[in-house]
Amino acid sequence: MMKRKLLALALSSLLLPVADSVLAQGAGKISGDVVKIGVLTDMSGVYSALGGKGSVLGAEMAIEDFKAKFKPKFKIELVSADHQNKADVGSNKVREWYDTQGVDMVTDVLNSGVAIAVAKVTTEKNKIMLNTGAASTRLTNEDCAPNNVVHYVYDTYALANGPGKVVTKQGKDSWFFLTADYAFGHSLEKDSMDAVKASGGKVLGAVRHPLNASDFSSFLLQAQASKAKVIGLANAGGDTINSIKAANEFGITKNQTLVGLLTTVVDIHALGLPTTQGMMFTEGFYWNLNAETREFSRRFFSKHKGMPNMLPAGTYSAVLHYLKAVQAAGTDDTAAVMKKMKETPINDAFAKGGKIREDGRMVHDMYLVEVKKPADSKEPWDYYNVKQVIPGDEAFQPMALSRCPAVKK
């Protein structure tokens, strides 16, 4: 009996390393030998020009570039869907993707209400969400999930920080806000108000409008009646474009300055330089910044017939960074990939020296830009003067102010 026990112990000690090795090999594999990425965006609504097909193209370009450089042994698949700016539609779609289609990572998720809902499903399913489209700072504060969710391109703190401080210090120190009435608008309004007040300015009021409003006249008349020097547009996409058009039609811009707090090169192109010249706002990317941004953007333009704003460029970067992490980790396991993404600097056409913080915020430089006068534009889409480079550590909310429950203080 004793001899049999000793023999069994000896055999088990020999088998344990083998078993550990088998488990380690299993953990280091790509599930199904396929990495699957989902682009969830607004394909047909108020934000479709901001993300939409442009975000899908950004993801496709990242996959092409990754394959060309790294020659991965695993397959890469891309799916996309329209969330219709509805949280239930978005969360149900990603749940289906995770449960039945083998999606490993979701990106874009343009619309803060949708993104907050999708982040919860992503955390529940232990997948990865690289949010490049939604702006609410709730995603790195109250609703943070840094083991699963990265806030990649911009947020309301960074968007508010530049113009809120600079425009106020220029003497335009009284503000009234025109705000999209949901999570994104509320967050952008609050962060902008905080930036204005911190710079010695005052807020005279705010009015909130529904998403994709059909008529801005009553809201703009309230802003005009406030006699504030600045009307801050805490909205985006089609709502920003229509707000600016209406303000010009009513002659409001003759006496009050418009600041589009989430404005991109796509909006300026839609409105034209005569309407937008002199506007200042914060951007995360400009196609004409340097040789690398121009090369990427012209490739994008050849397929999209428009220059990329910061969202497609950021989606390109996020997908590329994710795939590099999968390759380096040798697995699509969420914890292993997140670890690699957080310890690896981000260097590409979108960001230089970017880093993912412990609260899930990707920190990178932002740019305070001013729209050129028509006479100063040298070529189509040459719309910005970059007035200031805002270093990432200054652009985004400092860790000392974090309200993320997962962050130790």
Indicate whether 115 and 191 sit together in one domain.
no
Q: Give dist(CA 357, CA 362) in Å, integer.
A: 6
Indicate whether 249 and 310 sit together in one domain.
no
Indicate whether 165 and 266 sit together in one domain.
yes
Give the pLDDT of residue 8.
44
Mean of pLDDT values over 318-330: 98
For residue 1, being part of any structural domain is answered with: no
Indicate whether 98 and 124 sit together in one domain.
yes
For residue 10, being part of any structural domain is answered with: no
Residue 28 has pLDDT above 70, yes or no: no
Structure-token match 């706002």, residue found: 281
For residue 4, being part of any structural domain is answered with: no
pLDDT tens digits, 340-369: 999 999 999 999 999 999 999 999 999 999
- pLDDT band at residue 82 using 50, 70 and 90 as cut-offs: very high
Q: Which domain holds residue 217?
A: 157-286+368-387
Residue 391 has pLDDT above 80, yes or no: yes
Mean of pLDDT values over 213-238: 96
For residue 329, being part of any structural domain is answered with: yes
Q: Give dist(CA 160, CA 260) in Å, integer.
A: 10
- pLDDT band at residue 13 using 50, 70 and 90 as cut-offs: very low
Give the pLDDT of residue 43.
97
Indicate whether 217 and 241 sit together in one domain.
yes
Indicate whether 188 and 218 sit together in one domain.
yes
For residue 18, being part of any structural domain is answered with: no
C-alpha torsion 60→62→68→69, nearest 10: -170
What's the DSSP call for residue 397? P
pTM recorded for the entire structure = 0.91
Q: What is the Cα 285 distance to its own chain's centre?
A: 11
Identify the three-state secondary structure at position 126. coil
Identify the three-state secondary structure at position 185. helix
| Total number of domains in the chain | 2
For residue 251, being part of any structural domain is answered with: yes
CATH number at residue 226: 3.40.50.2300
Min mean pLDDT across 11-20, 197-206, 236-245, 253-262 is at 11-20
Residue 223 has pLDDT above 80, yes or no: yes
- pLDDT band at residue 19 using 50, 70 and 90 as cut-offs: very low
For residue 25, being part of any structural domain is answered with: no
For residue 15, being part of any structural domain is answered with: no
Indicate whether 55 and 176 sit together in one domain.
no
Q: Give dist(CA 311, CA 79) in Å, integer.
A: 18
pLDDT tens digits, 39-75: 999 999 999 999 999 999 999 999 999 999 999 999 9
Indicate whether 324 and 273 sit together in one domain.
no
On whether the CB atoms of residues 244 and 256 are closer than 8 A, the answer is: no
Mean of pLDDT values over 95-105: 98
Neighbours of 393 (CB within 10 A): 13
Q: Give dist(CA 228, CA 400) in Å, integer.
A: 32
Indicate whether 181 and 301 sit together in one domain.
no
Task: Show Cβ contacts of residue 375 under 8 Å, excluding neighbours closer than 6 positions.
Answer: none
Indicate whether 144 and 108 sit together in one domain.
yes
Indicate whether 66 and 134 sit together in one domain.
yes
Give the pLDDT of residue 20.
36
**CA end-to-end span of the chain, whole Å?**
58
Q: Give dist(CA 329, CA 322) in Å, integer.
A: 10
Indicate whether 40 and 136 sit together in one domain.
yes
- pLDDT band at residue 408 using 50, 70 and 90 as cut-offs: confident
